[in-house]
């Protein structure tokens, strides 16, 4: 981890301590324990620790509950869902709430924009979603904006998690693809498939053994900050159509 990244993370936590010193003192050891673990891992096996510092620090500063969970190794979405269920009591205790917690899901989408190949995007959203007809109608406008076209670029079909586009191109291993990449090489852009009716808690994999749970508004603020300061490709929102399941 670079000195600059350490300084950024420290800055966020100092702001949190100044805004809410009592709660920060209560949670400081947990936060520093997690960021320390992430800093000892390779970039391919962890979320950037400054992302976690910002998410936890913003939660402290806004007096918003959050949870940090260290658990057995998990790779797939199904394994992560099982871990959330198995640790529901501990998570509820940290959040002081029994509200449901939904995972952040991210897919790689291959779009046949040119005859000679695919354009690649990351599509993220809260909860389990699929790129069905409703999702395609929602994400088409932002994809058109990114590619600067008025044509229906999805009419030729899409490829979900195309096998030729290995996540290692983005600097991460399978199971840790998220909007918080350190590299956007090979991507045309990012789309957050947003469910505007959902305001609850979201679980984000920080490593194969660590999960952070934050309010959705905290997640979205951190995503906007990360894309504004750390990535070069366009970042757009698509609104999940009314009545589409979470």
Q: Which of 92, 204, 113, 192 is nearest to 158 (CA)?
A: 113
Q: Chain-centre distance of CA 188, in angstroms?
A: 18
pLDDT tens by residue, the chain, 246 residues:
444 555 777 888 999 999 999 999 999 999 999 999 999 999 999 999 999 999 999 999 999 999 999 999 988 877 888 899 999 999 999 999 999 999 999 999 999 877 667 899 999 999 888 899 999 999 999 999 999 999 898 988 889 999 999 898 899 998 999 999 988 889 999 999 988 888 899 999 999 999 999 999 999 999 999 999 899 899 999 998 655 444
- Nearest by Cα to 120 from 77, 150, 155, 164: 164
Name the residue ranges covered by the structural domains of the chain.
3-86+202-218, 104-195+231-239
Instruction: Write the DSSP string, 107-176.
Output: EEEEEEEETTEEEEEEEEEESS----HHHHHHHHHHHHHHHT--S-TTTT-EEES-TTS-GGGGT--TT-
Q: To which H or E segment does residue 188 belong?
A: none
**pTM: predicted TM-score of the whole model, two decimal places:** 0.91
């Amino acid at each position: 981890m670079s000195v600059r990244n350490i300084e950024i993370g420290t800055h966020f936590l100092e702001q949190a301590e100044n805004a809410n010193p009592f709660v920060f003192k209560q949670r400081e050891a947990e936060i520093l324990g997690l960021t320390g673990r992430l800093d000892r891992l390779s970039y391919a096996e962890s979320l950037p620790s400054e992302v976690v510092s910002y998410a936890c620090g913003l939660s402290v500063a806004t007096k918003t509950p959050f949870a940090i969970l260290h658990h057995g190794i998990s790779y797939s979405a199904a394994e992560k869902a099982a871990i959330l269920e198995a640790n529901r009591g501990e998570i509820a205790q940290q959040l002081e709430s029994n509200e449901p917690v939904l995972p952040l899901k991210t897919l790689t989408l291959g779009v046949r924009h040119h005859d000679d190949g695919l354009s690649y995007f990351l599509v993220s959203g809260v909860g389990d979603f699929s790129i069905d007809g409703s999702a395609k109608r929602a994400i088409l406008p932002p994809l058109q904006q990114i590619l600067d076209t008025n044509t229906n670029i999805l009419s030729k079909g899409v490829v979900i998690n195309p096998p030729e586009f290995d996540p290692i191109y983005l600097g991460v291993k399978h199971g840790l693809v998220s909007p918080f990449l350190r590299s956007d090489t090979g991507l045309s852009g990012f789309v957050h498939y947003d469910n505007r009716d959902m305001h609850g808690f979201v679980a984000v994999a920080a490593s194969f053994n660590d999960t952070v749970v934050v309010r959705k508004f905290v997640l979205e603020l951190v995503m906007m900050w990360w894309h504004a300061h750390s990535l070069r490709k366009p970042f757009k929102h698509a609104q999940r159509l009314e009545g589409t399941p979470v």
